Amino acid sequence: MFVTPCHDRRTGVITVSRLAEFRAAEKALQEQMAQLEALKKDAGLKREIEFEQKLVGLMKSYDKSLRDIIAILDPKAVARASSTPPKQQRRPRVVKVYQNPHTGERIETKGGNHRGLKAWKEQYGAATVESWVR
């Protein structure tokens, strides 16, 4: 199918004509309808739908939920689902010691969020200050 672009003189935007947009949507709908019909004829799908309906009916007649069924069929699954995975420990941050060669001042920090360290980086540059690590 050929889609004809149109130029809107008011906005300067190139758009697809409404008719072409309609035809594309209609074609997509027809393709989906054909796919739906093929699925309706699928014997495997029919068996799955029948199984689901019977299972839901059985669950209702015994007043059981899906969680109850899973607990009956696979008790370990409930234990696996309820146990949270162990939290991974972050390695502790190393204390860095910076010594300003111009003033002799020392700063000890575990992160780069130190006020004095930020001032040095602004004044001397980050690469220079990082070279001051002891």
How long is the chain? 134
Q: How many other C-beta atoms are found inside a 10 Å radius of the C-beta of residue 67?
A: 11
| DSSP-based three-state secondary structure for 5 | strand
Provide the pLDDT for residue 112: 75
Q: What is the pLDDT of residues 45-89, one digit of tens each?
A: 999 999 999 999 999 999 999 989 888 888 887 677 666 666 788
Domain spans of the chain, in order of start = 15-82, 96-131
| DSSP-based three-state secondary structure for 84 | coil
pTM beyond 0.85, yes or no: no
* Statement: residue 2 has pLDDT above 60: no
Cα 94 from chain centre:
32
pLDDT band at residue 16 under the 50/70/90 scheme:
confident
Provide the pLDDT for residue 15: 67
Share of the chain above pLDDT 70, in %: 83
Based on its alpha-carbon atoms, the radius of gyration of the chain, rounded to whole angstroms, reads: 34
Structure tokens at 121: 């980086």
Provide the pLDDT for residue 131: 92
Cα 7 from chain centre:
38
Beta strand residue intervals within 1-134, DSSP E: 5-7, 14-16, 96-99, 106-109
